[in-house]
A and B are shown apart, each in its own frame.
Chain A
Amino acid sequence: MDLSLNEQQELLKRTVADFMVHECPKTVLLELDRHETGAPPELWNRIAALGWVGMLIPQQYGGGGNSLTDTAVVYEELGKGPLPGPYFSSGVLGALTVLEAGSEEQKRQILPNVARGSQILSVAAQEPARKWGPGMVQLTATPQNGTLTLNGTKLFIHDAVAATHLVVAVRTQASQNPAQGISLVVVDKSLPGVSARTLPGFLGWVCEVKFENVRVPASAVLGQAGNGWPAFARAMEKAIPILCSYQVGGCEAVFDMSVEYSRTRIQFAQPIGRFQRVQDHIIHLTNHMDAARWTTYEALWKLDSDRPAASSVHLAKAVSSEGYYQACNYAHEVHAGIGISREYGLTLHTKMSRTLYQCLGDPLYHKRRMADALDL
């Protein structure tokens, strides 16, 4: 057994951490928080040039061909910001979806651009008034003379405004089994009839996307029509632990803030960290952080070593989502007044923790799926 990162991973971790300290200090993060996509082109291009967007894309398609664990090392550091932007949506979920679902030609066409950052993907699956899962995909794509016409609304799509291309889950056949009859269609966002806007509120870079008579060639369907969901499910299984590692990074950041504050904030002539009630908050926070960390690392290891990983992936997502959410709550209790001041930086995490709690299925969904994966 060896639970440590290897040398290259340690080096990578330090490189990304350095980048974050120098290029994305709190002042920059507060600006990004007000930015429409969270990723101004200049920053996006620099990070893509560093190879951190295309890490999971195999070398023959212009990516780094890294393992999931390598990639998670990077996302954990980005999560500490938290650095917003379509890094995960495009470089992880989008790229993996194309890899799992696309034909050889489609992979050759799309993935090098994704790795380079010149194409930005966002997978659009969820729809209004539906629970997460294949049953939510109802958007219609009508075939006609070698084209498909899309009509309908996708809701709560991460980074759709930032994206240049959407991978849209559409229902091409009605079926008893909701996971059948779904196709994944690559839609150029500049096509007439496509509109995306960011939803305001206590959430970040989550969008509504509308399709009004959007016509794409039949060749825009990734791989085989009707077989989209199983491919997307395989992509999610690999992508989710990367999202979890981002949440782990978030936990670590609010942990650091809270421990530091407990040492420096003086009330009743002593550091507040001397009060057992404050200690309790940070101890609960620590437990959430470590639970998120180790469930995530084990899921990554299982996937990287080709072991069956389904229950571990669901475990990691349920635990990390709840963990990041609760870690932020505890951090707020520790900080009291100063923590709700936007310029302090804690609320960037609080907002992110709420947003990611829902992303790719909430904890309740993953607990259900975990029970299935455990054959209960």
Chain B
Amino acid sequence: MNFEVEYTPEQEAFRKEVQSFLKVNVPAGLVTTAAVEAITHEQYLMQRELGRKLGGKGWLFPTYPKEYGGGGLNLDQTIILEEEMDQYGLSLPPYYNSGGNLGAPSILVWGTDGQKRQFLPPIFKGEVRVWQLLTEPGAGSDLASVKTTALRDGDDYVLSGQKIFVGSNHEVDWLWTLAVTDPNAPRHENLSWFMLDASLPGITIQPLDLLTAGGEGGAGSGVKNSVFFDDVRAPASALVGGENNGWKVATTHLELEHGGGGHIGRNRLWERLLHYCMTHELDGRPMTKDQDIRDLLMDIYIDIEIGRLFGVRNYFLTHAKKARSYEGPQSSMWRKSGNLRIAGFIQKILGYLALTTDPAHVVEEGHIELHQRSAIVGLHPGGTVEVQKLIMARRIGIGRTVREEAGRLA
């Protein structure tokens, strides 16, 4: 066993190449801010510009096949890329692109050759940004009960309905969604999966006022919306994975969203918290020397380390193509409930300071206050804690001899 990522001389050379590329191409004005909802359009355009440059080298979606514009790189190279991006506080892609991250692997598994050639290169090259539109006012955890319809009319499908808690701010190029194509078919056999051009007539995007929709790495969505479809006409070629086969397509991206893909990288929240406690005093001595604070910091550390190892394990399982079962939802559940526990520990350490964004008193540029809110908000996207538990139970085989299998990844 070896937990350390070891780099060969070729890989170290690759790191150098990545470093000098980022040095030239990460614009000086590109900031990672806690106030993601306030990211200016100019900032957003800089993020996209960097995305296109990375995409041009195959580094935006490094592990995906070269023939569709991916990087065709291996696990170690990907780790290097993510580590180097992380040095700038950026993730891959450096903007919110849930529809690309989760949509591309779904198309890779379920799309026709033509669809792969049509949809994948623009995503991998960073030419388009994509949102996923699943949730509806009446269909959250019970995603299969979506009511949006997509009815066949000649060579087109006509979509009507409403989605909620989706997307981000600034522009979007493509949207994908699940809609009912056969209103008379049984549950799970009535849905289809569509990749839509966001500029189609009849699509309206309306921002929501939420506690926050922010997150780490410059890729927090910042804003969530309601999206309305009023008789939106999409060509039949927008349907991916076969008519009424949408639920199967969804298993792929749901698996990824449930944490199956894994995660590596440093924990910036921990670094920030530690930095603050080491450089500030309470009652005349460094906060890290206060016994109460030390205890609380170690509670946080334990939570974070367990979460990190779950993420590393999943990353390994995914990229080494090993069998997975309950590990995805386990990691997701740990991250969600762990973040809420950690928010509690942080308020115990910092008190009111954990809560304010006042320029004179703010801790770590607002990232700590944001975490207090995002720890609550983050309980819900991609399946609530309860839903993660439900999936774990099925896959462990609690009370049943036939275990449910993990969703198919590329």
| Chain A contacts with B in 186-236, Cβ cutoff 8 A | 199-203, 206, 208
Contact A340 B211 (CB under 8 A): yes
Contact A129 B358 (CB under 8 A): no
Contact A275 B386 (CB under 8 A): yes
Distance between A251 CB and nearest chain B CB, rounded to angstroms: 17
Identify which of A155, A269, A350, A362 contacts B361 (C-beta below 8 A).
A155
Contact B355 A129 (CB under 8 A): no
Q: Which residues does chain B contribute within 8 Å of A332, judged by CB atoms?
A: 376, 379
> How many angstroms between the C-alpha atoms of A199 and B360 in the bound complex?
9
Asked whether A200 and B145 contact (CB < 8 A) given A277-B386, A337-B165, the answer is no
For the complex, is B348 an interface residue (Cβ under 8 Å from A)? yes
Contact A201 B357 (CB under 8 A): yes
Q: Which residues does chain A contribute within 8 Å of B394, judged by CB atoms?
A: none
Identify which of B141, B145, B165, B358 contacts A208 (C-beta below 8 A).
B358
Contact B140 A208 (CB under 8 A): no
Contact A357 B384 (CB under 8 A): no
For the complex, is B410 an interface residue (Cβ under 8 Å from A)? no
Minimal Cβ-Cβ distance residue in B for A347: B211
| Chain B contacts with A in 260-285, Cβ cutoff 8 A | 280-283
Identify which of B145, B210, B280, B376 contacts A129 (C-beta below 8 A).
B280
For the complex, is B325 an interface residue (Cβ under 8 Å from A)? no
Distance between A199 CB and nearest chain B CB, rounded to angstroms: 4
Contact A336 B377 (CB under 8 A): no
| Chain B contacts with A in 371-400, Cβ cutoff 8 A | 372-373, 376-377, 379-380, 384-386, 389-390
Contact A357 B347 (CB under 8 A): yes
For the complex, is B3 an interface residue (Cβ under 8 Å from A)? no
For the complex, is B27 an interface residue (Cβ under 8 Å from A)? no
Q: Which residues does chain B contribute within 8 Å of A275, judged by CB atoms?
A: 386
> How many angstroms between the C-alpha atoms of A340 and B379 in the bound complex?
10
Contact B282 A131 (CB under 8 A): yes
Contact B142 A268 (CB under 8 A): yes
0/1 interface trace, chain A 328-350, chain B, CB 8 Å (1 if under): 01001100110011110001001
> How many angstroms between the C-alpha atoms of A200 and B340 in the bound complex?
22
Asked whether A200 and B282 contact (CB < 8 A) given A208-B361, A275-B386, A342-B209, the answer is no
Q: Which residues does chain B contribute within 8 Å of A199, judged by CB atoms?
A: 352, 356, 358, 361
Asked whether A362 and B208 contact (CB < 8 A) given A129-B281, A155-B361, A325-B344, the answer is no
For the complex, is B201 an interface residue (Cβ under 8 Å from A)? no
For the complex, is B351 an interface residue (Cβ under 8 Å from A)? yes
Identify which of A203, A278, A342 contacts B211 (C-beta below 8 A).
A342
Contact A336 B352 (CB under 8 A): no
Contact A135 B283 (CB under 8 A): yes
Contact B211 A129 (CB under 8 A): no
Q: Which residues does chain B contribute within 8 Å of A277, judged by CB atoms?
A: 386, 389-390
Distance between B162 CB and nearest chain A CB, rounded to angstroms: 13
Contact B140 A267 (CB under 8 A): yes
Identify which of A268, A337, A343 contacts B380 (C-beta below 8 A).
A337
For the complex, is B138 an interface residue (Cβ under 8 Å from A)? yes
| Chain A contacts with B in 262-290, Cβ cutoff 8 A | 266-269, 275, 277-278
Asked whether A266 and B384 contact (CB < 8 A) given A129-B281, A135-B283, the answer is no
For the complex, is B292 an interface residue (Cβ under 8 Å from A)? yes
From A266, A325, A333, A364, name the one whose CB has the most chain B CB atoms within 10 angstroms.
A333
| Chain B contacts with A in 329-355, Cβ cutoff 8 A | 340, 344, 347-348, 351-352, 355
For the complex, is B135 an interface residue (Cβ under 8 Å from A)? yes
For the complex, is B369 an interface residue (Cβ under 8 Å from A)? yes
From B280, B283, B358, name the one whose CB has the most chain A CB atoms within 10 angstroms.
B358
Q: Which residues does chain B contribute within 8 Å of A175, judged by CB atoms?
A: none
Contact A358 B361 (CB under 8 A): no
For the complex, is A156 an interface residue (Cβ under 8 Å from B)? yes
> How many angstroms between the C-alpha atoms of A209 and B352 in the bound complex?
15
Distance between A333 CB and nearest chain B CB, rounded to angstroms: 6
From A156, A337, A355, name the one whose CB has the most chain B CB atoms within 10 angstroms.
A337
For the complex, is B164 an interface residue (Cβ under 8 Å from A)? yes
Asked whether A342 and B210 contact (CB < 8 A) given A266-B138, A267-B140, A364-B348, the answer is yes
Distance between A254 CB and nearest chain B CB, rounded to angstroms: 13
0/1 interface trace, chain B 187-217, chain A, CB 8 Å (1 if under): 0000000000000000000001111100000
Identify which of B292, B357, B377, B386 contacts A278 (C-beta below 8 A).
B386
Identify which of A156, A206, A266, A333 contacts B385 (C-beta below 8 A).
A333
Q: Which residues does chain A contribute within 8 Å of B348, judged by CB atoms?
A: 362, 364
| Chain A contacts with B in 318-376, Cβ cutoff 8 A | 325, 329, 332-333, 336-337, 340-343, 347, 350, 354-355, 357-358, 362, 364
For the complex, is A130 an interface residue (Cβ under 8 Å from B)? yes
Minimal Cβ-Cβ distance residue in A for B209: A342
Contact A206 B352 (CB under 8 A): yes
Q: Which residues does chain A contribute within 8 Å of B280, judged by CB atoms?
A: 129
Contact B358 A201 (CB under 8 A): yes
> How many angstroms between the C-alpha atoms of A354 and B280 in the bound complex?
22
Contact A340 B355 (CB under 8 A): no
> How many angstroms between the C-alpha atoms of A341 and B369 in the bound complex?
18
From B145, B352, B372, name the one whose CB has the most chain A CB atoms within 10 angstroms.
B352
> How many angstroms between the C-alpha atoms of A167 and B376 in the bound complex?
36
Asked whether A200 and B376 contact (CB < 8 A) given A156-B352, A340-B210, A343-B209, the answer is no
Minimal Cβ-Cβ distance residue in B for A325: B344
> How many angstroms between the C-alpha atoms of A341 and B135 in the bound complex?
15
Contact A203 B356 (CB under 8 A): yes
> How many angstroms between the C-alpha atoms of A128 and B212 in the bound complex?
28
Q: Which residues does chain A contribute within 8 Å of B135, judged by CB atoms?
A: 337
Contact A340 B376 (CB under 8 A): yes
Contact B356 A129 (CB under 8 A): no
Q: Which residues does chain B contribute within 8 Å of A336, judged by CB atoms?
A: 140-141, 379-380, 384
Minimal Cβ-Cβ distance residue in B for A197: B358
CB<8 Å pairs between A and B, sample of 8:
A130-B283, A202-B356, A269-B145, A278-B386, A337-B380, A340-B210, A341-B210, A358-B352
Interface residues of chain B, those whose CB is within 8 Å of chain A, are: 135, 138-142, 145, 164-165, 208-212, 280-283, 292, 340, 344, 347-348, 351-352, 355-358, 360-362, 369, 372-373, 376-377, 379-380, 384-386, 389-390
Since A129-B280, A201-B357, A340-B376 are in contact, a sample of 6 more A-B pairs with Cβ atoms closer than 8 Å, ordered by chain A residue number, is A200-B358, A202-B355, A203-B356, A268-B141, A354-B355, A357-B347
